[in-house]
Amino acid sequence: MSLLFTRRSKKTGKDEGIVLPEHIGIIMDGNGRWAKKRGLPRSAGHTAGAQNFRTITRYCSDIGIRYLTVYAFSTENWKRPQEEVSALMKLFKQYLEEALSDFKDDSIVVRFIGDTSAFSPDLQELIERTQRESADRTGMVLNIAMNYGSRDELVMAVKSIASKVHNGELSVDDIDADMISSNLYTAGQPDPDLIIRPSGEYRISNFMLWQAAYTEFIILDKLWPDFTTDDLDSALLEFSKRNRRFGGV
């Protein structure tokens, strides 16, 4: 955490200096409940959530966040009704097509974490194209977790390391925490300093279990489509006041 963000306090009218987290994770939760409260189909909630995702992503980039990881679709989300899953796949495709131009001027690097092989060939092609065309940008790294589950990620990492040991590339003594981190989807990135979960649910939901060992958590009783940049500012202010000891005194 090295960057300082200044905002004007609505309570005092004075400028507040906020030390920014280097990496933020957001569990984008509550789209379905948002729609239900309004008598709308769940797909309408996902559409509203996708629109808010663009707003929050750009804001994070503008204020200087270096890494943002958003939980878009988990390995467990396939269990939802087929109609809802199909609507989500259509929305993902629409988003990726728009993202190819939307984030072009924002210098945002777009990466996908999760097992994307489960998606349709055209969606996989869009994922690869989005990553390829944004790879040389120099701004914030945006990780979109799609068909992501942290337990699956850890199993993948263990299998990769075991294969290297089996092939004689590594010895058992080479395996340590850094080795495991280097075999995760987020290899080469710092662990999240802060994870935010709108919707009021007190669960981590299989999100970045290894990476979140010393992450600060903020739970907001507000559904994701209603989450605003002011809410993010408040979360960042709260985060900046926390004393992170990492197991020390």
Which residues are known catalytic residues?
29, 77
Residue 120: helix, strand or coil by DSSP? coil
198 bridge partner residues: 220
Q: What are phi and psi of 16, to 5 degrees?
A: -120, 130
CB distance 43 to 166 below 8 Å: no
Rg of the chain over Cα atoms, rounded to whole angstroms, equals: 19
CA distance 67 to 74: 20
Q: Are 67 and 80 in contact (CB under 8 A)?
A: no
How far apart CA 35 and CA 225 sit, in angstroms, is 9
CB 129 within 8 A of CB 137: no
Contact present, 130 and 96 (Cβ < 8 Å): yes
